[in-house]
């Protein structure tokens, strides 16, 4: 409970400090494609409870389309390319942390269609609160580029990428401690600032 409260306080402070940047991003989206600025989507949280995740809208307003996004997707806004490259579109999730729906560090919450609660791996991952960042998210930071090379991106994600992410989540949770969470947050900030320096194998070794 104390850790959750600390996360909420840190998230609230971060929102205040980052408010000028958040305002600029909102204006950029409004200028290019109008309202709404934010994108909300149902995700699965702790113990399988659904909630709405917040993001800056990085794609054009339209109905339908694949559940996952690959690099080069025509739906992505010009501003959205930069938001996604530097993960700025994820910053509104600090509000999810303030609300107690997420933590700063924890398994990334998935959309309902990719969650199978009958599997032990999913039940174990969903036994903890979801987070803004985790080991799997960092290792697969360039996931969109990987999916762009596939003939069937959704199939690749469901059958290869997602199981690999679950394994990394379980591995991290088995050896999780506060010092590793802090290290993971710093690593996330580093690779968001310098995405070209990401080496997935090195990241895995750092948190082994």
Counting residues of the chain whose pLDDT is more than 90, the rounded percentage is 82
CB 35 within 8 A of CB 113: no
CB 42 within 8 A of CB 128: no
CA 65/CA 149 separation, integer angstroms: 18
**pTM for the full predicted model:** 0.92
pLDDT digits (tens, 9 = 90+) for 153-170: 899 999 999 999 999 999
CB 162 within 8 A of CB 114: yes
How confident is the model over 9-33, as a mean pLDDT? 97
Check pLDDT > 70 for residue 16.
yes
Q: Which of 170, 61, 74, 69 has the alpha carbon at shortest distance from 111?
A: 69
Check pLDDT > 70 for residue 70.
no
Beta strands 131-133 and 103-105, pairing class: parallel
pLDDT digits (tens, 9 = 90+) for 169-206: 999 999 999 999 999 999 999 999 999 999 999 999 99
Q: How confident is the model at residue 111 (pLDDT cuts 50, 70, 90)?
A: very high
The H or E element spanning position 131 is strand 131-133
How confident is the model over 43-66, as a mean pLDDT? 88
The H or E element spanning position 93 is helix 93-98
């Amino acid at each position: 409970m104390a850790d959750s409260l600390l996360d909420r306080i840190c998230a609230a402070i971060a929102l205040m400090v980052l408010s000028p940047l958040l305002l600029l991003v909102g204006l950029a989206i409004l200028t290019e494609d109008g309202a709404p600025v934010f994108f909300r989507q149902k995700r699965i949280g702790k113990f399988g409870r659904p909630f709405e995740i917040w993001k800056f809208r990085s794609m054009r307003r339209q109905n339908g389309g694949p559940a996952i996004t690959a690099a080069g997707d025509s739906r992505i806004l010009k501003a959205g390319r930069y938001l996604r490259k530097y993960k700025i579109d994820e910053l509104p999730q600090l509000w999810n942390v303030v609300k107690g729906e997420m933590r700063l560090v924890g398994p990334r919450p998935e959309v309902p269609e990719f969650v199978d609660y009958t599997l032990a791996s999913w039940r174990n991952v969903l036994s903890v609160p979801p987070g803004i960042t985790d080991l799997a998210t960092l290792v697969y930071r360039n996931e969109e580029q990987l999916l762009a090379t596939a003939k069937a991106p959704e199939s690749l994600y469901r059958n290869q990428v997602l199981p690999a992410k679950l394994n990394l989540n379980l591995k991290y949770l088995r050896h999780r401690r506060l010092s590793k969470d802090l290290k993971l947050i710093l690593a996330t900030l580093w690779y968001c600032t310098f995405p070209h320096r990401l080496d997935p194998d090195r990241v895995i070794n750092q948190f082994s």
